[in-house]
A and B are shown apart, each in its own frame.
Chain A
Amino acid sequence: MSTEPDAADGIDWRSETSDVEMSRRDRLNEFYEQKLYVPAAVAWSDRRTRLGVLILSVYLLMAVVDLLGLWRDASTNQAERFLRPFENMSYPLGTTNSGTDLLALIIDSTPFILQMVLAGGVWATTLAVIVGTVSGYKGGTIDTVITAISDFFMAIPGLPLVIVLAIALSPENPLLLGVVLTINYWAGLGRSIRSQVLSIREESYIEASRTMGTGSVRIIIKDVLPNIMPYVMVNFVLAARYTIFASVGLYFIGVLPYTGQNWGVTLNNGYEQGGLFSMDAFHWLLVPIIAIVGLAFGLVLLSQGMDRIFNPRVRTRLTGESESIEEEETDTTTEMI
C-alpha cells in the first residue's frame, strides 16, 4: 500500500497534457505493466500463491468436468455399496450406503458451490467497500448514519440470522444463497475499511485533489480505492472462505433448504447414516471434508500470498525473496520517472 503509484499517477496526468508523444497505446502498456503484470509476477514468485492458484484451478476443472458432463452423474445404486476409496478404480473415492459414487457427488455440486462462494464474496466486499469508503471519506453526518447502521448489523450474529432468513426465503438459487449467507458480513469489513480510509484521506495527494475541486466520488474512485484495493482483495478471499464455511455448516446441520446434493448435504448424510459409528463408512465423511478443506485451503493460501505482496510490514522484514520484490518495485518506479 505504498503511495508511490499514486504519486506517479499524478505525474502521468500532467505529462499527458504536456508530452504529446505519450500515446494511448503507451499508457495502456504502462497500465498493464504497473497494475497487472508486476503484481502478477510478484504474486507468482510466492510459493503460497502458486499452490493456491493450482488448488483453485482443480476446483474450476471439476466444475468444467461437471458442466461438460465428462463424469457420470451421481445416482443411487450405480455401484456396489460402501466401496472403499481406491478399492475399485472406476469409483476412485468409494461409494455411499446407497451405492452412489462419491466423486460424482462432489463433482456434481462444484458449480453450485463455486457460484455461491463467488456471489457471497462479491456481495460482501462490494457493499463493504462502498460503505467503508463513503463513510470514512465523507465523515460527519453521513459517517454517523452509516456507522450506526453497520453497528446494528454487526450486532447480529451471522449464522442465527441466516437460519431465520433461510426459513423465510428458502433460497435455493446459489447466487441468492451466497448473498443471504453473507447478509451482514459487510458490516465488519466496512468498519475496517473505514478506519483505513480515515488515515488515507489525510494524505497530501488527497488534499491536493480536494483543493483542485475534484468531486468526492472521483476522489474515492481514483485516489482512495487504489490504496485499499489490496486489502479488499485479501478480504474478498476471506469472505469467500466464510461463505463456504457457513453454507456447508448450515447444510450439515440441515437448516438450509436443498433440492440436490452438495458437500454439506453429503457430509450430513454420511454423519446421520452411520459414518460416525463405524470405520467402514468413514470415507463417506472424509471425502466431503477434504473437498471443503481443499477449497478453503486454496483460498487462504491465495489470500496469504497476496497479503505478502501488498502488506509492506510483512514484505520489508522478510529477507531473500522480499529483497527481489523490493528491487522490482524500485526498478519500475525509476522507469516511470
Chain B
Amino acid sequence: MNYYFKRTLQIPLILVAVATLTFGLIRLLPGGPFTQLRIELLQQGVPAEQVDARIEALQNIRPDAPLWQQYIDYMIGVLQLDLGQSISLNEPVISVIARALPWTVFLVVVSTILMFIVGVLLGAIQAYWEGSRFDQIASGGSIFLMSVPYYIFAVIFLFFLAFQLRWFPTGNAVARGLDASQPLQYFSSVLYHAALPILAFTIGGIGSTALNMRGNGIQVLGEEYVEVARLRGLSDGRIATRYVAKNAILPMYTGLLLLIGFRLGGTVVLEEIFSYPGLGYYMIEAVEANDYPLMMGCFLVITATLVVAVYIADLTYGLIDPRISAGESDEY
C-alpha cells in the first residue's frame, strides 16, 4: 500500500481512538461526569426533573442511557464538532476553542521554527569550528539551557521584563479594544504580547537542538563523501549546504515530530504563566472551575492539533527523504 495513503488513513483512526479515550477518561473523573454538575445545578435551584435535561444539553450525553448509547451519542457529537457546553463560561465549548486554538498554534509554530533555525545554525557553526573556544562556550551554554525548563524562563522574563521594568505586557494576546479592523496596530500588538511567551518557549529548546545538530554535523563532516567533494574542488558553500547541512539536518526531523508533541503539551504551563488565552490556558481554567466539558474539549482539540501537525511533518519528511516511504520490515 502507498505510504501516503496509509498515513492518511491513520488520521481518522487515531482521532476516533483519542475521542474514545476522552470518553473513558470523563468516566474516570471523580464523581463521574455528572455528579459534580448535578450538585451544582441542584444548588442553583434547578428543579430535579430538569437537571437531567440540562446535563444532556451540557455534555450531550443522556445520563440514564446505557453506556454504549452514551458512547455513540458522544462520538456523533464530536463528529458534528459539538463538544457540549462550558459550565464556567456558559457558552458552547467549540466556540471557546475556536477562539483559543489560533493563539496556541501561533505560539507553537513560531517558537518551534525559531528554535529550529537558531539551534541548527548554532550547532552547525559549532560543528564546523569544533573544539574551538566558541564551540566550548556554546556547548556549555547549550547544556545549561537543557537543564532549565522553559517555564523558569517564563517566570524570570515575567518578573524582570514585565513586572519590574514594565517593558512587556503581563498577560493577554492582544491589547483590549483592538480588532482586526486596524490591521497594523492589531498585528504589532499581537507580536508585542506574544514576544515574551515565544522567547521563553524558544530559548528552552535551543540547547538540545544545537547539541543534536553539532553531533550530526561532526559526523557528516567526517564522512568520505564530504572528503571526496573537497577533493573534487567544490566550493565550501556548496559542500556546506548540499553535502553537510542536508545530511545533518535530516535525522533531526524525526526528533522534530516528537518535539511538536512535547511543545503543544507544554503550552499548558506557558499560557497559564502568561495568561495567554490559548487552549492550554482555558484547559487549566476549566480544571480549576471543575468545568469538565471544556477541559475534555481542550484536551481533545490539543490532541487533534498534534495529530494533524505530526501528519504534515511526516508528509514533508517523506518528500525530503524518499527512503521513508519504502521502509517495510520483514518478519523474523
Residue positions of A touching B, CB distance < 8 A: 48, 137-141, 143, 151-152, 154-161, 163-165, 167-170, 188, 192, 198, 201, 210, 216, 241, 245, 248-250, 252-255, 267, 271, 275-277, 279, 282, 285, 289, 292-293, 296-297, 299-301, 304, 311, 313-314, 316-319
Contacts and interface: CB of A to CB of B under 8 A. Distances in A.
Interface in B273-307: 273, 280, 283-284, 287-288, 295-296, 298-299, 302-303, 306-307
Interface string B3-33: 0000000100010011001000100111000
Contacts of A154: 258, 261, 310
Contact of A249 (B151, B156, B296, B303): B151
Contacts of B147: 241, 293, 296-297, 299-300
15 contacts: A154-B258, A156-B18, A156-B303, A157-B261, A157-B265, A157-B306, A159-B268, A160-B302, A163-B283, A167-B30, A168-B30, A248-B149, A292-B149, A301-B143, A313-B222
Interface stretch (B52-60, B73-81, B324-332): B324-332
A151 B10 contact: yes
B69 interface: no
A275 B218 CA distance: 44
Contact of B332 (A210, A275, A300): A210
Contact of A188 (B258, B295, B331): B258
Contacts of B21: 156
Contacts, number: 153
Nearest to B305: A157
Contacts of A198: 329
A320 B155 CA distance: 41
A169 B329 CA distance: 39
Nearest to B266: A159
B129 interface: no
A138 B131 contact: no
B332 A159 contact: no
Contacts of A319: 131
B269 A252 contact: yes
B222 A317 contact: yes
A158 B332 contact: no
Contacts of A151: 10, 14
Given A139-B330, A198-B329, A319-B131, A304 B143 contact: yes
A153 to B, nearest CB: 10
Nearest to B29: A168
Contacts of A160: 265, 268, 280, 283, 298-299, 302-303
Contacts of B272: 253
B308 to A, nearest CB: 10
Contacts of A292: 149, 152
Given A167-B30, A313-B218, A255 B152 contact: no
B93 interface: no
Given A140-B332, A296-B147, A314-B215, A159 B25 contact: no
B24 to A, nearest CB: 10
Contacts of A252: 151, 269
B284 A253 contact: yes
A245 B148 CA distance: 8
Nearest to B219: A313
B287 A140 contact: no
A160 B296 CA distance: 10
B167 interface: no
Interface string B139-179: 00001101111011001101100011000000000000000
Looking at A160, A271, A304, the one whose CB has the most chain B CB atoms below 10 A away is A160
Sort A-B residue pairs by CB-CB distance and give the 4 closest, nearest first: A140-B331, A157-B265, A297-B147, A296-B147
A48 B149 contact: no
A245 B18 contact: no
Contacts of A158: 261-262, 265
A317 B146 CA distance: 23
A192 B219 CA distance: 19
A116 B25 CA distance: 24
B88 interface: no
A262 to B, nearest CB: 15
A276 B158 contact: yes
